[in-house]
Amino acid sequence: MASELIELLNKAIAREIGVSVQYMWQHVMAMGMKSPEVKDIFEDIAIDEMKHAEKIADRLFYLGGIPTAKPTPIKVGGSLEEMVQDDLETENEAIELYKEIIAVASENKDSTTRLLFEEILTNEEEHKHTFTILLK
């Protein structure tokens, strides 16, 4: 039980660290006529993702795990549209991972972890919605 959940939480931390860096770099690199609005969105979501990493690390530590410091691969560069498309894919991956964590936490009667990831999942779905709107 605990080892599977600890592994999943570390996967989630690696993802949150990676995307927070990815979105912050995109904030720095965004150029073009539409970039001022998008730059702010990248920055705001990067901050959300770092807060998620912190909450997950706190929970992981409580469960006896050691949080990873290694991020997932980062996608940087391209046009604004390419960046947002990469971000949409990244959010879709997070949504799938967090649904899996919620299921495993439920199976293990770990309501605290389940509730934490339900909250984070809501944020990730909002990020997905934001990126979807930007692509239209």
pTM (whole model) above 0.85: yes
User: How far apart (Å, rounded) are the C-alpha atoms in residues 110 and 104?
Assistant: 9
pLDDT in tens, the chain (136 residues): 578 999 999 999 999 999 999 999 999 998 876 778 899 999 999 999 999 999 999 999 999 999 999 999 999 888 889 999 999 999 999 999 999 999 999 999 999 999 999 999 999 999 999 999 999 8
CATH number of 36's domain: 1.20.1260.10
pLDDT at 42: 95
Q: Residue 75 sits in which domain range?
A: 2-135
pLDDT at 76: 84
Structural domain count of the chain? 1
User: How far apart (Å, rounded) are the C-alpha atoms in residues 6 and 9?
Assistant: 5
Across the chain, how many H-helices and E-strands are there? 4, 0
User: How far apart (Å, rounded) are the C-alpha atoms in residues 34 and 63?
Assistant: 44
How many CA atoms does the CB half-sphere of 79 hold within 13 Å? 7
